[in-house]
Amino acid sequence: MILIPAIDLMNNQCVRLSQGDFDTQTVYSSDPVRTALQFENKGFTHLHMVDLDGAKQRTPLHLEMLRAVSVATGLFIDFSGGIRNAEQARQVFEKGASAITVGSMAVNDPETTESILKEHGPEKVILGADVKNEFIATAGWLEQSDKDIFSFLDFWLGKGFRKVMITDVSKDGMMQGPSKELYLKVLERFPDIRLIASGGIATMDDIYQLEALGCYGAITGKALYEGKLSQDDLDVFLKKNKND
């Protein structure tokens, strides 16, 4: 399983939210490039970068920060937030993203989503599913759709997506454990999915439990920033799972 640190961007700073609430932001770093370099030096090979301002404004706003991180590191960068059309997706890739995650667009504009998937391929386009009570949330978690996670996945996996990042918004930033029950339901129903779990990780035990479920990847944010995961424990996990 790939363990992926997260950088959530607001006003060019690394922040974390609690349960997707923009009024609960905690600033952890004013230098995202330095933060990304620190993650790389710790042994991580991947990075999940979220443009929270872009998600709110419905257009990517931190493209220059993406470029700076991509130039300074060799990390595989997955970028999300505000991508609403094919040209914006191309701009994100041009600025150095290795992959993009599309979520709100998959709900609101299936035709464009499918065209982006066809243009760039399933290794470079990840389906994002932000979930509240098993229904899809959009626009940086500010809005809840009428689409349940299972019908959403059934539709998009049929269109060719392979990787799916699922965030239980109620768990995100709370460090109360990931949504293992939800992930188990998804993996039982869609056994071929490459599931990337996001939200709630507080301990190394949480990480190993997600690995045991069969998750392809897991994203961690606040637990890393607040030192809940020791470097020794991370070294053991990262060496055991030699990420490429």
pLDDT tops 60 at residue 18: no
Catalytic residue among 51, 53, 78, 130: 130
Strands (E) across the chain are located at 2-10, 13-18, 21-29, 46-51, 76-80, 99-102, 125-132, 135-138, 143-148, 163-168, 194-198, 217-220
Domain enclosing residue 76, as ranges: 2-240
Question: Comparing 234 with 240, which gets the higher pLDDT?
Answer: 234
Q: What are the tens digits of pLDDT across the range 54-74?
A: 988 889 999 999 999 999 999
Say whether pLDDT at 139 is over 80.
no
CB atoms within 10 A of CB 211: 19
**Is 78 noted as a catalytic residue in this protein?**
no
Please write the tens of the pLDDT for every residue from 179-220.
999 999 999 999 999 999 998 899 999 999 999 999 999 999
Which of 8, 51, 53, 78 is an active site residue?
A: 8
Q: With CA atoms as reference, report the closest residue to 125 among 89, 152, 150.
A: 89
CB neighbours of residue 170 within 10 Å: 16
pLDDT value for 174: 59
CATH of the domain at 232: 3.20.20.70
pLDDT at 242 over 80: no
Q: What's this model's pTM, rounded to 2 decimal places? A: 0.90
Q: How many CB atoms lie within 10 A of CB 213?
A: 18
Residue 170: pLDDT band (50, 70, 90) is confident
Question: What rounded mean pLDDT belongs to the chain?
Answer: 90
pLDDT surpasses 70 at 141: no
Return the pLDDT at 23: 56
Residues forming beta bridges with residue 56, ordered by sequence position: none
Integer angstrom CA distances of residue 5 from 86, 122, 234: 26, 21, 12
pLDDT-derived band at 244 (thresholds 50, 70, 90) equals very low
- Quote the percentage of the chain above a pLDDT of 70: 89
Number of domains present in the structure of the chain:
1
Q: Any catalytic annotation for residue 8?
A: yes
Of 119, 2, 6, 122, the residue nearest 69 (C-alpha): 6
Q: What is the pLDDT of residues 73-128, one digit of tens each?
A: 999 999 999 999 999 999 999 999 999 999 889 988 999 999 999 999 999 999 99
pLDDT at residue number 103? 86
pLDDT for res 13: 84
